[in-house]
Amino acid sequence: MHLNPTRRQVLQFLSACGVSLALPAMTARAAARRRDERPKSLITLWMNGGMSQLETWDPHPGTKSGGEVRDIATTNKDVRISELLPQMAEQLHSCMLIRSLTSKEGDHERGAAFVKTGYRPEPTLKYPTLGAIAAHELPNSELEIPQYVTLAPDRIVPEGGYLGNQFDAFRVFQPGMGLSNLKSYVSPERQADRLQGLNVVSRQFEQRRQFGAKRTLHQNTLDRALEMMSSEQLKAFELDSETSGVKAAYGDTSFGRGCLVARRLVEVGVRSIEVTLPGFDTHVANHSGHVTNCKILDPAIATLIQELRDRELLDSTIVLCISEFGRTPGINPAAGRDHWPNWFSCMIAGGGFRENTVIGSTPTDVFEGKKADGKLILPAEPVLVPELYATIMATMGIDFRKEILTPIGRPIRFADALPSAYLLKNP
């Protein structure tokens, strides 16, 4: 007798009995789906301020640009990463590192806009983020909570852009610590009375504004907000049912809790989630800044990947760790590194992307972004952000070539590039 069933077998069994252990957003059947049978979700881990590639995924120890950091071996025998990420070193066989992302935007706001949307910012049109496009294109009708969530967000809010602000990410400022504005501050009886009164006043407004009022979507938005207030799926934002061991593994930090909530949101069927870790704008004391931040990042991201794998969710979840740009190879007089869009790194795990792989390499001890003749110096095997995003969209089942007629009358494609099969496990 087989007494050690896999998690999948247990879920299949329970699902057959009409029982689901998952949080109740998907149907029991959908929740039980694993690996690539399951619709794909995207978790973006946003390293706000510009993470240094040299102190994380692309160290150059022993060189002038390398700074104080040393490298360590990883589970990918050909790859060494920063000593500041020891737990991630144990997960690297599940990951793909891209060390050759390039951008032309060296300003925080412009850089973030470019890396979040795949389009360089322009004054006349706001582009939607990758997450907003996923929410727009892959609606989950079972979901009573928002389709696009940002946890511990910074000032730059992921936006729906030309798709409309209804596709802006739902912001959770303190992940795992409760949600604001989701409980009425009066008794249920009084709330019921209030809503009844609201019907009377709304009816008066709508009486002779039949078409106009419909276009405002006011009632529709209100109904969805009320549905969310009473939804069982809100439990995905709570961590009470998680063991103290799991919570400790992610780390008792806002980012750690954010990653844990992100896993729970994936389980209920949320398609795109962003978790922000601030503090990477290390113009001063770059090394110590990264020591501090990597202590938060390393356990959270490693545990997230491990847990997704254990729950057989990694094949259907893309985990992308990225920032608006990298940091200069040169170290300034304040022991800091400045903005460097010429090359920077990102890490991708799951979702059908290649594993145990490194793409691109960067020059050592090159301190200028341009040659004497003004031409840009590029890393080997450069990967463009729009190309990466087209690939993610294709992987998620989004038509990256789809054109939307924007409010300024210009048709714009979701992705400004073609996908790269080279980035995928099974192209």
Partner 1 sequence: MRAVVILFALLIAVLVLKAVQVAGRVEQLSGSPAPVADDQQLGAAVARLNEQFHRQWQAENVQVVDSVDDFSVLRRLSLAMFGTVPSLEDIRAFEHDDQPNRIDRWVVRMLQDSRYSDYFSERLARSLVGVEEGPFIVFRRDRMTAWLAQQLHKDASWSQMTKELIAAEGLWTDRPAANFITVARMEDEGLNVNKLAGRTVRTFLGQRIDCAQCHDHPFDPAWKQADFEGLAAFYCQASLSPGGVTDYKSGEDKQEVVYKVVDPGAETGRVVPSAVPFHPEWLPADGGLRHRLAAWVTHKDNRRFERAIANRVWGFMLGKPLHEPVDDLPHPVDGETDALDILGQEFRARGDRLSVLIRMIAMSDVFRLSSESSADDEETYTKQVQAWSVFPLVRLRPEQVIGSLFQAGHVRSIDQNSNPFVRVTKFGNENDFLNEYGDLGDDELLQQVGTIPQALLRMNGRFTAEQSKVDGFSAPAQILSFSPDNAALIDNCYLACLCRHPAVDERAYFLNLLESTTEAAAEKRQANPEAPAASPESKPTRTRAQVVEDLVWTLYNSPEFSWNH
Nearest-approach distance from CB 219 to partner 1, in angstroms: 7
* Binding span for partner 1 by CB under 8 A among 16-24, 81-89, 102-110, 418-426: 102-110
Task: Give the phi and the psi of residue 264 in degrees, each rounded to 5.
Answer: -65, -35
Tokens of 410: 């210009």
Measure the CA angle with vertex 242, ends 238 and 247; round to 5°.
Answer: 95
Environment class of 207 (CB within 10 Å of its CB; exposed 0-12, middle 13-18, buried 19+):
exposed
* Binding span for partner 1 by CB under 8 A among 66-74, 164-172, 300-308, 381-389: 164-172
For residue 384, the cross-strand partners are 102
Tokens of 283: 């113009």
Give which of 350, 348, 293 is closest to 322, Cα–Cα. 348
- Tell me whether residue 210 or residue 243 sits nearer to partner 1 (CB atom): 210
Query: Is there binding between residue 221 and partner 1 (CB under 8 A)?
Result: yes
CA-to-CA dists, residue 61 to 72, 80, 261, 300, 339, angstroms? 10, 10, 35, 25, 20
Nearest-approach distance from CB 145 to partner 1, in angstroms: 9
Residues from 373 through 412 that contact partner 1 (CB under 8 A)? 373-374, 407-410
Single out the residue of 14, 28, 72, 157 in contact with partner 1 (rule: CB under 8 A): 157
Single out the residue of 141, 200, 240, 372 in contact with partner 1 (rule: CB under 8 A): 200
- Tell me whether residue 154 or residue 307 sits nearer to partner 1 (CB atom): 154
Single out the residue of 3, 189, 243, 244 in contact with partner 1 (rule: CB under 8 A): 189
* Binding span for partner 1 by CB under 8 A among 76-84, 96-104, 177-185, 395-403: 177-185
- Tell me whether residue 15 or residue 52 sits nearer to partner 1 (CB atom): 52
- Tell me whether residue 69 or residue 163 sits nearer to partner 1 (CB atom): 163
Residues from 28 through 47 that contact partner 1 (CB under 8 A)? none
What length does the chain have?
427
Single out the residue of 10, 21, 73, 186 in contact with partner 1 (rule: CB under 8 A): 186
How many CA atoms within 13 Å lie on the side-chain side of 147? 22
- Tell me whether residue 151 or residue 348 sits nearer to partner 1 (CB atom): 151
For residue 150, the cross-strand partners are 171, 274
* Binding span for partner 1 by CB under 8 A among 30-38, 66-74, 132-140, 161-169: 161-169
Strands (E), 365-417: 383-384, 403-405, 411-413
Output DSSP code: residue 122: B
CA-to-CA dists, residue 241 to 23, 31, 66, 176, angstroms? 11, 18, 43, 11
* Binding span for partner 1 by CB under 8 A among 67-75, 76-84, 222-230, 384-392: 222-230
Give which of 268, 275, 18, 251 is closest to 140, Cα–Cα. 268
* Burial track 106-127 (b if 16+ CB lie within 10 A, e otherwise): bebebbbbbbbbbbbbeeeebb
Helix (H, G, I), strand (E, B) or coil at 153: coil
Residues from 117 through 156 that contact partner 1 (CB under 8 A)? 122-124, 126, 146
Nearest-approach distance from CB 369 to partner 1, in angstroms: 10
Nearest-approach distance from CB 390 to partner 1, in angstroms: 21
Q: How many amino acids of this chain bind partner 1 (CB under 8 A)?
A: 59
Give which of 421, 382, 369 is closest to 99, Cα–Cα. 382
* Binding span for partner 1 by CB under 8 A among 10-18, 165-173, 284-292, 319-327: 165-173
Check if the beta carbon of residue 377 is closer than 8 Å to that of residue 328. no
Query: Is there binding between residue 218 and partner 1 (CB under 8 A)?
Result: yes
Nearest-approach distance from CB 72 to partner 1, in angstroms: 34
Check if the beta carbon of residue 115 is closer than 8 Å to that of residue 127. no
Nearest-approach distance from CB 180 to partner 1, in angstroms: 8
List residues near partner 1 by CB under 8 A.
106-107, 109, 122-124, 126, 146, 157, 164-166, 168, 170-171, 180-186, 189-190, 193-194, 197-198, 200-202, 204-213, 215-219, 221-222, 224-225, 228-229, 339, 373-374, 407-410
